[in-house]
């Protein structure tokens, strides 16, 4: 076990390295192995130190007997449960103090513990807490962070959906047509009104035996009731 608890500025790299080892575990794992995998640039030795702390690797970078058993599990649930023993043994002082609650301690509680245990600064204490939380996530307590590159790839590869263009509804189209038709009808009506004339033909049957006075009364009535309207 190392003199102090491990830490790294990007603890997610530890999770990525563990996933790589689950797929293929080289005979010897060194800082150069981490570098060739493109993980933890300039921090490769911190990844190796963290894996040695939880007894995944021995001092020579080889797989330990305990790790051989843990990494033989294919199912995630079985791997997490087995990996849990490696972590609790490595952080025995933390579990002696907090018991099973150690898996779910918040950042402040973890930072306080590591700073008191190793007399570290705030920055190092935060990194130690972050490293433990990654081991907790690998043990089934919490979410394992997704690599940034994978997020970017998914984002860039996502297809942008274009909203379909809205077609004008029949009702709106018909409304415009009706308005146009109405205007045309109004114009036609005006033209018709200007050109419209009315003629009235009146037939008068005069009595053959009528007197002049009778005729005068008839024409007088026509003048008063029809011609003056």
74 in a structural domain: yes
Q: Residue 189: is its pLDDT beyond 50?
A: no
Q: Residue 183: is its pLDDT beyond 70?
A: no
When pLDDT is averaged across residues 78-106 and rounded to a whole number, the result is: 97
When pLDDT is averaged across residues 50-77 and rounded to a whole number, the result is: 97
DSSP at 211: -
Query: What was the pLDDT predicted at 186?
Result: 52
Calculate what percentage of the chain has a pLDDT beyond 90: 60
When pLDDT is averaged across residues 23-37 and rounded to a whole number, the result is: 97
Q: Which of 15-19, 75-79, 130-134, 180-184 has the lowest mean pLDDT?
A: 180-184
Q: Which long-range contacts (CB under 8 A, 24 or more apart) does 134-138 make?
A: 134/11, 134/12, 134/14, 134/15, 135/14, 135/50, 135/54, 135/87, 135/90, 135/91, 136/87, 136/103, 136/104, 137/15, 138/15, 138/18, 138/80, 138/83, 138/87
Question: Whole-angstrom Cα distance, residue 203 to residue 201?
Answer: 7
Q: Residue 101: is its pLDDT beyond 80?
A: yes
* Cβ proximity of 39 and 16 under 8 Å: yes
Query: What was the pLDDT predicted at 208?
Result: 67
Mean model confidence pLDDT for the chain: 81
109 in a structural domain: yes
Q: Please, which pLDDT band fits residue 147 given cuts at 50, 70 and 90? A: low
196 in a structural domain: no
Q: Residue 50: is its pLDDT beyond 50?
A: yes
How far CA 152 is from CA of 9, 20, 131, in Å, comes to 21, 20, 24
How far is C-alpha 207 from the chain's CA centre? Answer: 102
DSSP at 61: S
Domain that holds residue 85: 12-150
Tokens representing residue 223 in the block: 């003048």
User: Where do we find the tokens 């002049």?
Assistant: 212
18 in a structural domain: yes
* Cβ proximity of 140 and 81 under 8 Å: yes
Query: What was the pLDDT predicted at 172?
Result: 44
Query: What was the pLDDT predicted at 176?
Result: 46
Question: Whole-angstrom Cα distance, residue 20 to residue 118?
Answer: 30
How far CA 9 is from CA of 35, 45, 152, 221, in Å, comes to 16, 12, 21, 119
User: Where do we find the tokens 């103090």?
Assistant: 97
When pLDDT is averaged across residues 60-82 and rounded to a whole number, the result is: 97
Give the chain's domain count.
1
Tokens representing residue 19 in the block: 């996933």
191-205 residue pLDDT tens: 445 555 666 666 666
Query: What was the pLDDT predicted at 196?
Result: 53
């Amino acid at each position: 076990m190392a003199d102090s608890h491990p830490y790294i500025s990007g603890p997610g790299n530890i999770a990525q390295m563990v996933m790589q080892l689950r797929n293929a575990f080289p005979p010897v794992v060194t800082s150069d192995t981490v570098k060739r995998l493109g993980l933890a640039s300039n921090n490769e030795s911190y990844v190796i130190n963290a894996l040695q702390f939880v007894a995944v690797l021995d001092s020579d970078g080889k797989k330990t007997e305990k790790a051989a058993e843990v990494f033989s599990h294919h199912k995630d649930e079985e791997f997490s449960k087995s990996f849990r023993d490696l972590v609790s043994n490595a952080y025995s002082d933390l579990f002696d103090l907090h018991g099973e609650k150690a898996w779910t301690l918040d950042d402040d509680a973890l930072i306080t513990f590591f700073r008191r245990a190793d007399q570290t600064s705030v920055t190092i204490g935060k990194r130690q807490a972050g490293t433990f939380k990654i081991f907790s996530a690998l043990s089934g307590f919490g979410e394992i962070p997704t690599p940034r590159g994978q997020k970017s790839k998914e984002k860039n590869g996502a297809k942008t959906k274009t909203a379909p263009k809205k077609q004008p509804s029949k009702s709106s189209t018909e409304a415009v047509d009706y308005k146009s038709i109405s205007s045309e009808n109004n114009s036609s009506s005006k033209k018709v009104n200007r050109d419209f004339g009315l003629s009235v033909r009146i037939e008068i049957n005069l009595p053959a035996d009528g007197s002049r006075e009778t005729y005068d009364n008839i024409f007088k009535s026509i003048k008063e009731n029809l011609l003056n309207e």
